[in-house]
Structures are given as C-alpha cells and as structure tokens.
Amino acid sequence: MSTHEAETDDVRAIKSGADHLRAVQDGRAVYLDGQRVQDVTTHPAYRNAVASAAGLYDYQAQPDNVETMTFDPGTGRRVNRCWQLPRSYEELKERRHALVAWAEQTCGFMGRSPDHVASVLAGQVMGIEVFQAYDQKRARALQDYFEYARSNDLFLTYVINNVQGDRSKAFGDQGEGSEDLIAKIVDEDAAGITIRGAKLFATSAIMANEIFVGSGQPLKPGEENLAFSCALPMNAPGLRVLSRKSFEAHAVSEFDNPLSSRFDENDALIFFDDVKVPWERVFVYRNTDMCRAQFHDTPGHIYQNYQAQIRLSVKLRFLAGLARGVADTIGTINFPPVRETLGRLASQAAMITSMVYGMEAAGRMRGPYYLPDRHLLYAAQVQAQELYPQIIHTIRELAGGALLMLPSSVQDFADPELARIIQRTQISPAMSGMDRVKLLKLAWDAVGSEFASRHVQYEMFYAGAQFVTRGHSFRTYDWAAAGSMAQALMHRYPSPAPIDHIDRSTTASL
Ligand SMILES: Cc1cc2nc3c(=O)[nH]c(=O)nc-3n(C[C@H](O)[C@H](O)[C@H](O)COP(=O)(O)OP(=O)(O)OC[C@H]3O[C@@H](n4cnc5c(N)ncnc54)[C@H](O)[C@@H]3O)c2cc1C
C-alpha cells in the first residue's frame, strides 16, 4: 500500500459528521412540548444544532485539519485531541489549538461541545491513582470506559448537578414528596446498580452519544445513595430527556436568528426511571468523599474548566468583533468615547485569552502529565462570570435602538415596496442597508434574544454559582507566598515597645 493510500485510509477512519448523525438516531427518549421526539436529526427543534455538532466531526476529518485536530492514541485510529493526555507544555498547547479551532466553528456558543466532558474524563484518568486508592474495581471501570469513549471519539455530556429544590436543606433531606428529586441508587445486584430520580442541566444531551452522571456538589455522610458516578448511552432504557424550550424551534429564520437557529445546544432535565447501570460503567459507588475527589483530587476539574476558558476566549473574540462591527455600521467608530469603550472591551476579551496562556505557562507536571495552573484557572473563572454580562451590556450600550428597529423578518424583503423603504431607512456609512440589517440581527441574537439571555445565565452558572467559583479561588491561592511579603516588610521596621513596658506612672494622670 502506498503512503498516500495509507493516509487516505487513516482520514477515512476518523469520525465524521455522518457517523455522528447515524449514532444519535438511536431511539433516545427526548420529550418536547408534551411529545416524544422521534429523531433529533430531523426534528425542527434540534436538527440544526445536531448538524452543527456533526459539522465539528466533518471539520476534524478534513485532510487539511487532521494533524491539528486529531491524534492517534495508539489504537491506529485518529481521534480528536481533546482525548490527548498532555505530557508537556508543548503538548498542552497543541491540544489547545484543536480546542480553539472547534470553538471557532460555533463562535464559542456551544458550551458543551464534545471536548468539554472528554476533558473531564481525560483529567480523571490522569489522576487514576486517586480512584485506585478508593476502589480498584471502580478505577478499572473508569480506565476501560475512557479507552472505549476515546477510541470511538464519543460525544459525551454530563449531569453532575442536582435539582435546585430547597437550598436551605441538604440534598438528601428535602422532605416529603422529594423521593425522586435527586437521582439515587435504589437497587443493586450482581449485574450493576439501578438509579432513580433526576439530575440537571444536561446541556447537549439531545445530541450527545452518552452521558456521564455524577455529583459535583458536596455531599455529606449519610447521603451515600446519592454518591455515585457512572456513564450511560443516551438511549439507555428508562433514561428520559425533558428538553427545555427550543430556541431553534422559535428562530424565525436563519437570517433573523443566525445563532439561535444553528447553535441552540439545548439543556434538559434527565429523569432516570429505574435505569440499570452495569458495574463496568460505575466509577464511584456509595462514597461521598470519592464524589468530591474524582473532580478535585484528580486533574478532572482543572481540565474541564480549562476547556471552558479556551472556548470562552473564542466567544469573547467573536463578541469583540461584533461590537466593533456595530460601531462601524452605525457610524460611531470615530467618536473618542466609543473607541475607549471598544478598547476596554477588547482588553476584557484579551484578558481571558491571556489567562489561558498564563495558566498553561505556569503549569506543572503531575506524574507524567502536564497540568494548567489551578489557581490561574479559577481566577479566570471568577473574572469570566462577572465579565460576560458586562460585555453583553456594553454591546447593547454601543448599539442603542439599532438592535431593535429592524424589519420584522426576512419576509419584509419579499415585498418590493417594503424592501425599498428598508433600503432607504437602514443606511450605514460602512455597508449596504441589507448588510446593516444582517449584522444587527446577528448582534441581537448574540446579546438580546432569548438565546442570548440563556447564554448570560450559562456563563454565570455553568460552573456553579459565584460563591462556588470564588470558593475555589480562595482555596487554591498561595496565601502563604502572598502573606510572606507583608511579614517580611513588617520585620524590616521596629514595633513600638509593648504596652506592658510603658512606664505607667507617666500615664496614670491622663
Ligand atoms: C444554561 C445552563 C447550562 C448548564 N449546563 C450544565 C450541564 O450540562 N451539566 C451540569 O451538570 N450542570 C450544568 N449547569 C450548572 C448547574 O446545573 C447549576 O445551574 C449550577 O451548579 C448552579 O446551581 P443552581 O442552579 O442550583 O443554583 P444555586 O446553587 O442554587 O445558586 C442560586 C443562587 O443562590 C445563592 N445560593 C445558593 N446556595 C448558596 C450558598 N450555600 N451560599 C451562598 N449563596 C447561595 C447564590 O446567590 C446563587 O447565585 C448549567 C447551568 C446553566 C444555567
């Protein structure tokens, strides 16, 4: 076989969009508006988002992208670099280039693209000794599952959070009628465990191959029934996906809602209706501390959130470009205050990129693997939660009423008389009236539509509320090094004599 033929075979073996579309036509139980969805690849509420996800696989399979996007983990089949376990700073950057290229395909709007949960598993496997110290069998199950998911280049999503319920109570103590609120182990036998109850938010569940189920929120002793993690195919018997409202279904047209119509990855509540999980897919079993350790004692949490910051850096770059486009379109770009505002926005976008570079450069080896710096990662996360709503607000401020005073839909252009009026009223120093409308509709979909509003909530909460991320930042900062400077300085100058040594006879009369 010639070298060329070998390469062609290699390229063919890479997972393609068509492979992904076929795989998700698996009879999964997705519910929307009171109906069971028959096929997510054709349903008007999901088909474009599913096609966008499939497009990621087509992108990686293009001959020019194969080297950047994929690697051979030693199985002879190239898979996405999100499965790579970096052994140096150079390999970490190589992996990042693939993640950036994927995020660019969706302008950063698909937060649970396949590289997110793959990064969690990669991080957990980099710390497999943590699992082994708790339970050898569960560690073996995780290692085997990782290899299975990686060699099939699976798209995984996860549910590691609980239904909000009553926050003033523990998850395991929500009171009468809450039996099915939070997924728990209700039975077990020689084949595996049975789980019943809910978990959320399963972002991308409608289009993923499989789902990782676990507990990222702290559990206390006594809540062992809730303390498990496992993986299931999306069509597992009894697994129900209760989709939220579809923004794709409500998109007026591609022209009117260019983002909602193609990147609505969807969020869902997963209800496990006595779902059977075989032991070889159970990674944590009735151990509250191991639930925490699987994310925080392994590099799982670091790799999962490092991916999220890479994706966000791309999204902010997209939004910065959009902001500049708005100012160009309405002719305010040369006003000094507008340039200042854009300068501030550009620096905010660049800050997240810089923090990604910083966490990589300040990384360290853990055994054979190279990890981004944990504190710089959490610092970026805390900043990002505040930054995102600010950036959205800034773009709205830059645009004024332009974002709303637009033709009701693309259909207005079909009427020559209306089209003529639109052409005369939607003027711009930078582009045609049509292009002005096109750009401003894109901007509204990014900052003002229901889809945009969900994204603000997503960026504020996907990693937990602010008290959670600030807690990680507090916990991982090097307070000793920071405090030692103040201590060292204080040692360089004398303190006044202690109060006990002051001659009290001189102060007695005061
Ligand atoms: C769009 C979206 C997509 C998501 N996708 C996923 C996903 O795919 N998989 C997944 O597992 N998770 C996902 N999440 C995250 C997750 O499900 C939760 O939203 C997140 O962990 C926050 O929990 P909560 O919503 O229950 O809010 P809470 O934790 O209840 O927080 C709500 C507010 O209550 C206050 N509060 C609550 N408890 C405390 C406390 N102890 N101390 C101080 N203040 C408190 C805070 O002010 C906070 O802002 C997603 C979230 C969103 C919004």
CATH number (domain holding residue 148): 2.40.110.10
- With a 6 Å cutoff on the Cβ, whether 207 touches ligand 1 is no
pLDDT tens-place string over residues 120-178? 999 999 999 999 999 999 999 999 999 999 999 999 999 998 888 887 888 778 787 77
pLDDT tens-place string over residues 282-312? 999 999 999 999 999 999 999 999 999 999 9
pTM, rounded to two decimals: 0.94
Is 506 inside a domain boundary? no
Q: What is the mean pLDDT of the chain?
A: 94
Q: Is the pLDDT of residue 509 over 60?
A: no
Residue-number span of the structural domain to which 402 is assigned: 300-480
Instruction: Give the nearest ligand 1 atom to 455 CA.
Output: 1
CB atoms within 10 A of CB 181: 18
Is 4 inside a domain boundary? no
Are 440 and 407 contacting, i.e. CB atoms less than 8 angstroms apart? no
* Same structural domain, 352 and 442: yes
* Same structural domain, 191 and 330: no
* Same structural domain, 283 and 360: no
Instruction: Give the nearest ligand 1 atom to 217 CA.
Output: 21
Is 243 inside a domain boundary? yes
475 CA to centre of own chain: 22
* Same structural domain, 277 and 307: no
Residues 6 or more apart from 490 whose CB is under 8 A from it?
Answer: none
* Average pLDDT score over residue span 216-236: 95
Considering 238, 266, 296, which residue would you say is the last residue of a domain? 296
Sign of the dihedral through C-alpha 56, 445, 453, 348: positive
End-to-end C-alpha distance for the chain, whole angstroms: 102
Are 81 and 69 contacting, i.e. CB atoms less than 8 angstroms apart? yes
Cα–ligand 1 centroid distance for 149 (angstroms):
28
- With a 6 Å cutoff on the Cβ, whether 200 touches ligand 1 is yes
* Same structural domain, 249 and 309: no
- With a 6 Å cutoff on the Cβ, whether 461 touches ligand 1 is yes
Considering 273, 296, 319, which residue would you say is the last residue of a domain? 296
Is 494 inside a domain boundary? no
* Same structural domain, 214 and 310: no
Is 501 inside a domain boundary? no
* Same structural domain, 254 and 343: no
Is 71 inside a domain boundary? yes
Nearest protein CA to atom 46 of ligand 1, as residue: 465
Considering 296, 319, 341, which residue would you say is the last residue of a domain? 296
User: Measured between alpha carbons, how far is 378 from 282 in angstroms, rounded to an integer?
Assistant: 29
Number of domains in the chain: 2
CATH number at residue 305: 1.20.140.10
Is 311 inside a domain boundary? yes
- With a 6 Å cutoff on the Cβ, whether 441 touches ligand 1 is no
Identify which of 467, 469, 474 to mutate to test ligand 1's pocket (most ligand atoms within 8 A of the CB): 467
Are 110 and 54 contacting, i.e. CB atoms less than 8 angstroms apart? no
* Average pLDDT score over residue span 410-426: 95
User: Measured between alpha carbons, how far is 30 from 240 in angstroms, rounded to an integer?
Assistant: 6
User: Measured between alpha carbons, how far is 103 from 390 in angstroms, rounded to an integer?
Assistant: 21
pLDDT at res. 174: 78
* Same structural domain, 249 and 286: yes
pLDDT tens-place string over residues 20-48? 999 999 999 999 999 999 999 999 999 99
User: Measured between alpha carbons, how far is 81 from 153 in angstroms, rounded to an integer?
Assistant: 10
* Same structural domain, 49 and 140: yes
Is 169 inside a domain boundary? yes
* Same structural domain, 93 and 212: yes
* Same structural domain, 463 and 399: yes
pLDDT tens-place string over residues 127-139? 999 999 999 999 9
Asked which of 218-222, 256-260, 280-284 is least confident by mean pLDDT, the reply is: 218-222
* Same structural domain, 145 and 175: yes
pLDDT tier at 375, thresholds 50, 70, 90: very high
Instruction: Give the nearest ligand 1 atom to 164 CA.
Output: 26
